[in-house]
Amino acid sequence: MTVDRSTGSVTVRAVFENKDRVPLPGMFVRARIEEGVNPRALLVPVAGVTHDQKGTPVAMVVDKDGRAAMRPLVTSGMSGQNWIVERGVAAGERVIVEGIDEVRPGMTVKAVPASAPRALPAAGARKEGDTHRWPSFSSIARSSRG
């Protein structure tokens, strides 16, 4: 493997079955190579992540008292339409993915399940039944100032 520092391009030599003869020799492809897996990382929909004034990614979650709380996140990339979150939210926490621009930290909110899944896991992502824990997500249906 070689990296061209001026463009960021990576050249990798790979051997794989090619029965249909696609791609042909000399062609270029875009590939995603799994570098490693962090079993504690969670996927958070793009719609549930914003950035604060310093540019730090943050998510609004619904705490046990039904109040919105802002959490700074540590992300390591994207998988489909989801951020890969290393730290900041825990499995099972409810992340606000709709109406986020109307919510402020400390505000009492009524969380309901999101209307539809945001995205399917990317190809090669872990499947149900493995040891990876997927978080649950909620959307804001109505908020009341308390």
**Percent helix, strand and coil across the chain, each to the nearest 5:** 5, 35, 60
d(CA 84, CA 61): 16
Tokens linked to 95? 């992340």
Regarding pTM above 0.75, the answer is no
d(CA 59, CA 52): 10
- Per residue in 58-95, pLDDT (tens digit) is 999 999 999 999 999 999 888 888 999 999 999 989 99
- Per residue in 104-121, pLDDT (tens digit) is 999 998 888 876 554 444
- Report the pLDDT value the prediction gives residue 133, as an integer from 0 to 100: 37
